[in-house]
Structure 1
Amino acid sequence: MSTTKPEEQITDEPSEDIADEPLSLDELAAEGDEIEALRAENAELKDAYVRALADAENTRKRADRDRREAETYGGSRLARDLLPVYDNLERALRQDGEEASAFDKALLEGVELTMRELLKVFEKHGITPISPQIGEKFDPQAHEAMFEAPVPNTTSGDIIQVSATGFMLHDRLLRPAQVGVSSTPQSDPDPTPEA
């Protein structure tokens, strides 16, 4: 025959091990100080936690911005290195084709096709030409003045010659257009002296 122990009952009454003595004022003050110290530590940890979350979020945003910028502008060095190729193709296309032989015309046609393909690649990667026209106003944000000369029938700041095409990479200047700019034309001195 097996004997079973009655299950122990859980009660809300304090066990005999806990003293029923009230705490002294010093003990209450010590516990209050301990609670305040724990609250202060808790507040410090919460503050450190919130700061760590903010730092992590800022780092994530900065990394995302850097990644986007690298995708957009990462090829700027290669693009700058390709600009002389564009310049040489453009010079070849400026050759006068009237005296050219059939071979020269075929060669120029090949250069023109190469130039079109290069411009398509530029467009695909966000590189756009800056092609100022003679008579436009000089823009220091997009043009580089190579020289300045007084030219009749122009106003100061008018473009009088385009030496090289400029380029933008998305919204950044890759190379300014190189231009000649009109200075204020010299006016003839007044022939009548002042009295």
Structure 2
Amino acid sequence: MAEQEPSNFLDDLANAEAEEFGEEMEELDDEVVELDALRAERDELRDKFMRALADAENSRKRAQKERREAEQYGGSKLARDLLSVYDNMKRAVESVGEEQKEASAALIEGVELTMRELISVFKKYGIEPVSPQVGDKFDPQVHQAMFEAPVPGTKAGEIIQVSADGFMMHDRLLRPAQVGVSSNPG
């Protein structure tokens, strides 16, 4: 076997080492690319996880709010239907004259007790009457104007007659108080 010249041998050795170094660098580049891809996938999965966690928390809060509202206001339809019972009992008590009170004292007392019990049950469930008085200022948030009329000695926007009490259930209006309002110019 013929001996190579030292310069060729060194060149071949340098070339072999350079080729080996190049291969190692390519492998390193491939590993870096793979590592970058794994990091991007990790970040994407972390983002999806955080979004899913936030969605779950929002759903939980929404369900809690809906449950609270159902507890507080679930009976509002029934309560509205019972308001006519209250109105009729109130009219019955107010329509009784003095001589009828004496003749039917026990019956009238029973109706008044039933009406008080109804009001007590209303209060138990957060239902409070809105009872404006003649002379109060009209408030469209809790009153419904049934008519307007010019009444001497009153100011415009003053309540001149109360037809029916209104009712609030917690912080919501079940029914506005029905009132007549003065239309006198101020």
TM-score of Structure 1 vs Structure 2, range by shorter chain: 0.7 to 0.9
| Cα distance, 1:104 vs structure 2 | 2.2
Render the CA deviation track for 1:76-112: whole Å, top value 9, x for unaligned.
0010010000000000100233121655222111100
Q: Give structure 1 regions of 4+ aligned residues with deviation exceeding 4 angstroms.
A: none
Per the alignment, residue 133 of structure 2 pairs with 133
Q: Which amino acid aligns with 1:90?
A: K
Q: Which amino acid aligns with 1:24?
A: E
The TM-score normalised by the length of structure 1 is 0.81
Per the alignment, residue 92 of structure 2 pairs with 92
Per the alignment, residue 54 of structure 1 pairs with 54
Q: Structure 2: which 5+ runs fail to align?
A: 1-19
- Distance of 1:27 and 1:81 partners within structure 2: 80
Q: Structure 1: which 5+ runs fail to align?
A: 1-20, 187-195
Higher normalized helix content (fraction of residues): 2
Per the alignment, residue 35 of structure 1 pairs with 35
Per the alignment, residue 7 of structure 2 pairs with none
Percent of matched pairs sharing the same residue:
67
- Distance of 1:179 and 1:100 partners within structure 2: 28
The TM-score normalised by the length of structure 2 is 0.85
3-state SS of paired residue (1:161): strand
* Alpha-carbon RMSD: 1.6
